[in-house]
Amino acid sequence: MKASDLFVKALENEGVEYIFAVPGEENLDLLHSLKNSKIKLILNRHEQGAGFMAATYGRLTGKPGVCMATLGPGATNLVTPAAYAQLGGMPMMMITGQKPIKKSKQARFQIIDVVDMMRPITKYTKQIVNSNNIASQIREAFRIAQEEKPGAVHLEFPEDIAQEDCEDTVFQVTGHIIPKPDEQAITDAVKMIEAAKMPLLLIGAGANRKITCEALKAFVDQTGIYFFTTQMGKGVIDERHAQYLGTAALSSNDFLHAAIEEADLIINVGHDVIEKPPFFMKQGGKKVIHVNFDPAEIDPVYFPQLNVVGDITNAVKKLTTEISHQKHWDFEFFEKVKKEVGEHLSKYFEDMRFPMLPQRLVNLLRKKLDSKDVITLDNGIYKLWFARNYTCHQPNTLLLDNALASMGAGLPSAMAVNMLYPDRKVVSVCGDGGFMMNSQEIETAVRLKLNLTVIILNDEAYGMIKWKQEDMGFDDFGLGYKNPDFVKYAESYGANGYRPANDQDFQKILAHCLASEGVHLIDLPVDYSLNHPILNVMLKEKAQKL
């Protein structure tokens, strides 16, 4: 059969539902083969949008999301989504085209070494040079993308290879069982936990697997040990749980860190050093048990005393079975911190000033959304407020990125969520800077008849960097800009645009958007005046007094 037809057949064999794409000349054979496939082609407006959608698909399903671009500039535009998926542990497959490799067609026009470019930011990258290897290379790419830790893979499919005749064959999709942790490591972990006076559980992104969530809740219920999460571990256990202390949105000097400082043992489940540190280890300080699919990567701020390596779910279940509640465990200080955290986080929930405080927005969205509804965040200072203040009831209901932390992913992520979960309300919260980086995907969302609400936090500046600039004592310089009329901008794409005049107006608009079909965009003025006095000043002062 034709090689491009086999390529599509091999993708179908892997259960691929969508290909997010900005096709080019070198993809035309593959594009033609997709025409009669059950795989749905999603035509994007920028390769970044396609890549972010594919990565989010992988994040939510555990199956590699697939995206496609042409050679040269199309491939280079996938670099950021590749790093986003690779660092964030999201299975994703990228397909890029290439000029014929058996003869020169256009000399070196648009040709760069894409495979070599992708090597540092993927788990697997290959050029297909023989059409009879297509099926095996696709099977291998999918296998590697899904193995722990999941990530990005890439195949380059040259134009002349796509046109060849080849054998009609695909390979059976087989899974694998992740090895169980060593029994001695489990025994050592049990001894360390039972000997500790104030053990504390940390839940990271790697623990965000369905059966792991259930196992961790059983562990907390059985032992009574308090827990906190990294930003990408939010919602693994319902955050209304009595033992939930909070989310480490900052690396230090939050109320939560007072509890971390007092703890003499951290049980670190599913976190690695790629995500921004939720705390810093010190020589001679508290001990850390690292529970993950791979051993800890040693860093000056992270050097655990014990590795429990293997299937996380199995490890947590074993610990739950073998650990007994210890009378000498003292969680009184944790209870005090939990009370302080609750009072602090809710302080501005009912503050109706306008422009709106991010804390107020967090509260209004939590009230309006059901437990299963999803918020996707772009990257900006508001991410810290949502990570700290938004209470997740279920896993993957607040999607943020704390690994690459790229701007421009919030809107495409929301689009992928709505495609996967059409019965859930989806809200994308973006800064004005991040929104403009992939704002053209509004057209894609409208064309696909998606239902989502986009809230643009408008401060006409790169707010996260301004916050850092102020904290470092520098002058306010070089970070402001002017925005388009977002209401007219949305309407020009066929979406619905709104600009609230006050708090009550915003509440009415939000209720209307959430209850209505279609793509809705709200231009919301935001007040970031409390970022510095709270996050940089007050927390450091008060957390140290606990």
CA 73 – CA 150 distance, rounded (Å)? 26
Judge contact between 226 and 201, C-beta under 8 A: yes
Judge contact between 311 and 439, C-beta under 8 A: no
Q: What is the DSSP letter of 36?
A: T
pLDDT at residue 543 in the model: 67
pLDDT at residue 105 in the model: 72
What string of pLDDT tens digits covers the 546 residues of the chain? 999 999 999 999 999 999 999 999 999 999 999 999 999 999 999 999 999 999 999 999 999 999 999 999 999 999 999 999 999 999 999 999 998 988 877 767 778 999 999 999 999 999 999 999 999 999 999 999 999 999 999 999 999 999 999 999 999 999 888 999 999 999 999 999 999 999 999 999 999 988 999 999 999 999 999 999 999 999 999 999 999 999 998 888 888 999 999 999 999 999 988 888 899 999 999 999 999 999 999 989 999 999 999 999 999 999 999 998 899 999 999 999 999 999 989 999 999 999 999 999 999 999 999 999 999 999 999 999 999 999 999 999 999 999 999 999 999 999 999 999 999 999 999 999 999 999 999 999 999 999 999 999 999 999 999 999 999 999 999 999 999 999 999 999 999 999 999 999 999 999 999 999 999 999 999 999 999 999 988 887 876 666
CA 516 – CA 16 distance, rounded (Å)? 30
Count of CB atoms situated within 10 Å of the CB of 118: 25
Q: Which helix (H) or strand (E) holds 220?
A: helix 210-223
Domains of the chain, CATH where assigned? 3-163 (3.40.50.970), 183-340 (3.40.50.1220), 347-536 (3.40.50.970)
CB proximity list for 346: less than 8 A, separation 6 or greater: 363
CB proximity list for 418: less than 8 A, separation 6 or greater: 424, 426, 450, 451, 452
Scanning the structure block, which residue is given the tokens 């026009």?
Answer: 109
pLDDT at residue 107 in the model: 66
Instruction: Report in angstroms the alpha-carbon separations of 113 from 119, 131, 197, 248, 487.
Output: 10, 20, 55, 40, 42
